[in-house]
C-alpha cells in the first residue's frame, strides 16, 4: 500500500504509460553520457577576481579548447584575445570598442568563434541539458547556432542569425551571455572545500556569484564557520570576523557589501585610544577601499579596540565551557601590567606594550559598559544584514562539514587523530565521539545552533560551538593546538607565535592512515581519494600537495595574496572528468590594467590518476539516483498496465 501511495504521487507528474515511458527513455539516454567535469577549489579567502578567473578559464582548459579548434587558423594573439573574451567579457568588449575600426564586424566574428568553443564544451551533454544552461531570452538562437546541422545551408543560416543579433544592437549582451554559457558547460559541478571568507577583499562578491551558479557545494572551513557563528549573534565570533577584516583593511566589504555599521566602533576606538598610535595594529593593505576609505590611524585603533573585546568575550566562553579544555588560552589575567609581561603556559614573555585601559586587572574579562553597548550595536548590525544572512543560509543549504561524492571524500581541515593513528575521541556538549560520528554530530549541532537553537545540545550562548570549531584544539576545522592571535599582536618574539599542527598532518603522509580515514567514511581506498584544504602547501620549501601515496590531495596552494610569499605559487585546483583526475598549479593572478589589457598565466597541469575506462553518468552518485528514478517509473508503468492506477490523457 505504501508503494501504491508513492506511485499515485508519481502519477501526477507522469499521468500515463506514454509519459512515464518517455521519461524512462530520457533518463536512460542521460545515463549513457560521459560523467561531467567536477572542479575543486579551496581557501578562496575573498580573492573574488582570481576565483572567477579560475572558474571561467576552467584552470586553462578553455584555452586548450581554443588552441585545439583554432591553433592552425588563428594567430597566437587572436587566440589569446578569444580567451580573454571568455574570461572577462565586459573588460574585453570595452577594450575592443576602443581599438576595433569596425566593432560590429568584430562582434559578428567573435560570436561565430564563441559558438565553436561552446559546441566543443557541450558535446558530453544531451541537447536538453545544454538548453538548461543557456540564458533565458537568447538561449533559443544559441541552441540553433549550436545544433544547426544542415551543412549546405549552415553558413548562410549562421550569418543571418548573427547579423540579426548585431543589427538589433544585442551583440555585446549576447557575447557576455554566450561566454557565461561556455563557463557553465565547461564545469559541470563545483566543489568549494572551505574558507571563502577573510583576508581577501570580497568574499561577498564570491557568494553573490555562487548564489546563481548552476551546481555548487561547500565543505565548511574554519573561516566560514566563524562567520556562520557570527550570523547567530555570537559575540566571540563577531569580534573575530571584525578584527580579521579590519586588520586586512576590508571596510568596503564590511560596511558597503554587508552593511555592518562600524561607526560605533570607530567612535569608541578613537576615544579610548586617542593618544595611542596602535602601531602594531595597522592594517595589511592588500587592496585599497573604493568607497569606505578609513584612515589607517583610525583603522589601527579600531583593530586594537575590537581585539581587546575579542579576548574578553573569548575568555568568558572558555570559562563557560570547561569541556573545550582551552583554559591555557586565558591570557588577560596572566598579564603583569607593572612589568609589561605575560605568562603563557609557564613561560614569561615581554609584551610590546600594555596600554589596555579597558582591562581591569582585578576582573580582566569583564566588559566595560561602553564595550557592552558597542557589542550590542554590532550584534544588531550583523543580525540585520539581509545579504549576510542570505549568504549564510546559502552556505547551510549547499554545504556540510564533509561530503562523499563519486567515491571521493571532501573536507576542509582534518579528522582528529591521536599520535598513534587512532581516531581522537572529542568531547562536545558532554558527548564523546570520534571519526565519522563526530563529524555527523557536529554538522547536526551547527545547523541547530543557527536554525533551531532550542533543539541544540549546546551549553552556553548559541554559536559557541561555531567559535570552538574556528579555533579549538580538537576542532576538525582548525587542526592546530592553539590560535596565537594574542601573541602575534602583543609579543615581539616569534617563538611565541608558533601554532603546532595536530598529528593528522603527519599521519596523512602515510597511505595506511589515509586508507583508514576512507574506510571510516565507508569508501573503498582502491578507488577513492581525499580532497583536502586548509593548510597552504609550501612548494618553495619542497612540500607536495600529494599525500598518502596518492590517496590525499591538499589543494590549498595560496589563492589568497596573503599566502603567496609563503607558498611560492597562487593556488591549486583539482579536476575530475570522465577520463582522469588532474591537479593544476597556478601562478599569481594579474589584475586588469588601466589600458584594458590583462595578462593570463596558464597553470601547470599534472594528471594524477587515469581511469581504466571512461566513467559514465551511470557510474556516478547522480547515476544511482537516476537508476532509482528509472526503476520507480517502470513500477508506475507496470501499475498502469495492471489497472492499479488509472491513466489520464
Q: Is the pLDDT of residue 297 over 80?
A: yes
Are 249 and 286 in contact, with CB atoms under 8 Å apart? yes
Helix (H) or strand (E) holding 52: helix 48-57
As a whole number of angstroms, the distance between CA 430 and CA 279 comes to 43
pLDDT in tens, 451-468: 999 888 887 788 999 999
pLDDT in tens, 478-529: 999 999 999 999 999 999 999 999 999 999 999 999 999 999 999 999 999 9
As a whole number of angstroms, the distance between CA 373 and CA 236 comes to 15
Query: Which range has the worst mean pLDDT, 344-358, 407-421, 556-570?
Result: 556-570
Residue 67: strand pairing partners: none
Q: In sequence order, which ranges of 400-543 are alpha helices (DSSP H)?
A: 435-451, 464-471, 485-490, 504-507, 511-520
Query: Which range has the worst mean pLDDT, 274-283, 314-323, 454-463, 554-563?
Result: 554-563
pLDDT (0 to 100) of residue 540: 75
Residue 482 has phi, psi (to 5 degrees) of: -165, 160
Helix (H) or strand (E) holding 114: helix 103-121
pLDDT in tens, 35-65: 999 999 999 999 999 899 889 988 888 999 9
pLDDT (0 to 100) of residue 195: 95
Are 558 and 567 in contact, with CB atoms under 8 Å apart? yes
Instruction: Describe the strand order of the beta sheet including 347-350 as a list of residue ranges.
Output: 335-336, 341-344, 347-350
- Residue 72 CA, distance from chain mean position: 38
Residue for grid cell 617563538:
495
Residue 629 has phi, psi (to 5 degrees) of: -65, -40
pLDDT in tens, 610-644: 999 999 999 999 999 999 999 999 999 999 999 99
pTM of the model: 0.93
Q: Is the pLDDT of residue 150 over 70?
A: no
pLDDT in tens, 170-213: 999 999 999 999 999 999 999 999 999 999 899 999 999 999 99
Q: Is the pLDDT of residue 70 over 90?
A: yes
In the 8-state DSSP scheme, what is residue 497?
G
Task: Please give the grid coordinates belonging to residue 107.
Answer: 562582434
Residue closest to 466 by CA, chosen among 476, 614, 136, 496:
476
As a whole number of angstroms, the distance between CA 193 and CA 44 comes to 9
As a whole number of angstroms, the distance between CA 417 and CA 402 comes to 16
As a whole number of angstroms, the distance between CA 464 and CA 454 comes to 14
Say what percent of the chain tops pLDDT 90: 79
pLDDT (0 to 100) of residue 455: 87
Task: Please give the grid coordinates belonging to residue 261.
Answer: 555599521
Residue 191: strand pairing partners: 40, 217
Are 235 and 275 in contact, with CB atoms under 8 Å apart? no
As a whole number of angstroms, the distance between CA 537 and CA 530 comes to 16
Q: What is the mean pLDDT of the chain?
A: 93
pLDDT (0 to 100) of residue 557: 66
Burial class from Cβ neighbours inside 10 Å (0-12, 13-18, 19+) for residue 322 reads exposed
As a whole number of angstroms, the distance between CA 584 and CA 566 comes to 18
Amino acid at each position: 500500500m505504501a508503494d501504491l501511495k508513492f506511485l499515485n504521487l508519481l502519477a501526477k507528474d507522469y499521468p500515463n504509460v506514454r509519459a512515464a515511458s518517455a521519461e524512462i527513455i530520457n533518463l536512460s539516454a542521460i545515463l549513457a553520457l560521459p560523467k561531467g567535469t567536477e572542479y575543486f577549489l579551496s581557501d578562496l579567502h575573498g580573492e573574488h577576481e582570481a576565483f572567477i578567473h579560475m572558474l571561467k578559464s576552467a584552470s586553462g582548459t578553455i584555452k586548450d579548447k581554443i588552441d585545439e579548434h583554432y591553433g592552425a587558423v588563428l594567430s597566437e594573439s587572436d587566440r589569446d584575445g578569444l580567451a580573454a573574451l571568455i574570461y572577462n567579457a565586459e573588460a574585453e568588449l570595452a577594450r575592443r570598442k576602443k581599438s576595433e575600426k569596425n566593432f560590429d564586424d568584430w562582434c559578428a566574428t567573435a560570436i561565430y568563434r564563441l559558438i565553436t568553443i561552446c559546441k566543443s564544451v557541450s558535446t558530453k551533454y544531451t541537447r536538453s541539458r545544454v538548453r538548461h544552461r543557456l540564458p533565458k531570452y537568447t538561449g533559443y538562437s544559441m541552441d540553433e547556432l549550436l545544433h544547426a546541422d544542415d551543412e549546405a545551408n549552415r553558413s548562410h543560416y549562421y550569418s543571418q542569425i548573427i547579423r540579426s543579433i548585431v543589427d538589433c544592437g544585442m551583440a555585446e549582451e549576447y557575447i557576455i551571455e554566450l561566454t557565461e554559457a561556455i563557463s557553465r558547460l565547461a564545469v559541470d559541478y563545483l566543489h568549494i572545500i572551505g574558507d571563502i571568507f577573510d583576508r581577501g577583499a570580497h568574499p561577498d562578491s564570491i557568494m553573490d556569484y555562487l548564489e546563481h551558479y548552476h551546481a555548487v557545494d561547500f565543505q565548511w572551513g574554519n573561516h566560514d564557520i566563524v562567520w556562520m557563528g557570527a550570523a547567530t549573534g555570537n559575540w566571540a565570533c563577531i569580534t573575530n570576523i571584525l578584527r580579521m577584516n579590519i586588520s586586512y583593511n576590508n571596510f568596503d566589504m564590511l560596511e558597503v557589501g554587508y552593511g555592518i555599521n562600524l561607526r560605533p566602533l570607530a567612535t569608541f576606538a578613537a576615544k579610548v585610544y586617542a593618544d595611542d598610535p596602535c602601531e602594531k595594529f595597522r592594517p595589511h593593505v592588500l587592496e585599497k577601499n573604493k568607497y569606505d576609505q578609513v584612515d589607517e590611524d583610525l583603522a589601527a585603533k579600531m583593530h586594537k579596540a575590537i581585539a581587546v573585546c575579542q579576548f574578553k568575550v573569548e575568555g568568558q566562553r572558555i570559562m563557560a565551557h570547561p569541556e573545550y579544555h582551552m583554559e591555557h588560552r586565558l591570557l588577560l589575567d596572566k598579564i603583569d601590567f607593572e612589568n609589561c609581561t605575560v605568562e603563557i603556559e609557564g613561560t614569561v614573555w615581554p609584551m610590546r606594550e600594555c596600554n589596555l585601559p579597558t582591562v581591569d586587572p582585578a576582573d580582566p574579562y569583564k566588559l566595560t559598559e561602553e564595550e557592552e553597548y558597542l557589542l550590542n550595536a554590532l550584534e544588531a548590525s550583523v543580525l540585520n544584514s539581509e545579504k549576510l544572512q542570505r549568504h549564510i543560509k546559502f552556505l547551510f543549504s549547499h554545504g556540510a562539514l564533509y561530503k562523499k561524492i563519486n567515491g571521493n571524500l571532501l573536507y576542509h581541515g582534518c579528522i582528529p587523530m591521536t599520535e598513534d593513528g587512532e581516531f581522537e575521541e572529542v568531547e562536545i556538549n558532554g558527548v564523546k565521539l570520534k571519526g565519522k560520528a563526530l563529524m555527523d554530530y557536529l554538522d547536526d549541532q551547527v545547523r541547530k545552533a543557527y536554525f533551531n537553537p532550542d533543539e541544540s545540545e549546546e551549553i552556553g550562548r548559541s554559536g559557541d560551538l561555531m567559535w570552538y570549531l574556528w579555533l579549538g584544539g580538537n576542532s576538525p576545522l582548525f587542526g592546530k593546538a592553539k590560535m596565537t592571535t594574542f601573541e602575534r599582536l602583543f609579543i615581539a618574539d616569534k617563538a611565541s607565535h608558533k601554532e603546532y599542527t595536530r598529528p593528522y598532518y603527519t599521519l596523512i603522509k602515510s597511505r595506511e592512515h589515509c586508507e583508514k580515514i576512507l574506510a571510516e567514511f565507508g569508501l573503498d581506498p582502491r578507488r577513492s581519494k581525499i580532497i583536502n584544504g586548509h593548510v597552504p602547501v609550501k612548494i618553495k620549501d619542497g612540500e607536495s600537495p600529494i599525500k598518502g601515496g596518492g590517496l590525499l590531495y591538499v589543494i590549498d596552494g595560496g589563492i589568497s595574496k596573503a599566502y603567496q610569499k609563503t607558498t611560492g605559487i597562487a593556488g591549486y585546483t583539482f579536476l575530475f572528468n570522465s577520463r582522469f583526475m588532474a591537479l593544476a598549479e597556478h601562478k599569481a593572478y594579474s589584475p586588469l590594467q588601466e589600458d584594458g589589457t590583462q595578462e593570463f598565466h596558464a597553470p601547470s597541469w599534472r594528471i594524477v590518476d587515469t581511469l581504466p575506462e571512461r566513467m559514465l553518468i551511470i557510474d556516478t552518485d547522480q547515476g544511482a539516483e537516476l537508476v532509482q528514478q528509472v526503476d520507480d517509473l517502470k513500477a508506475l508503468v507496470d501499475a498502469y498496465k495492471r489497472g492499479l492506477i488509472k491513466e489520464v490523457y
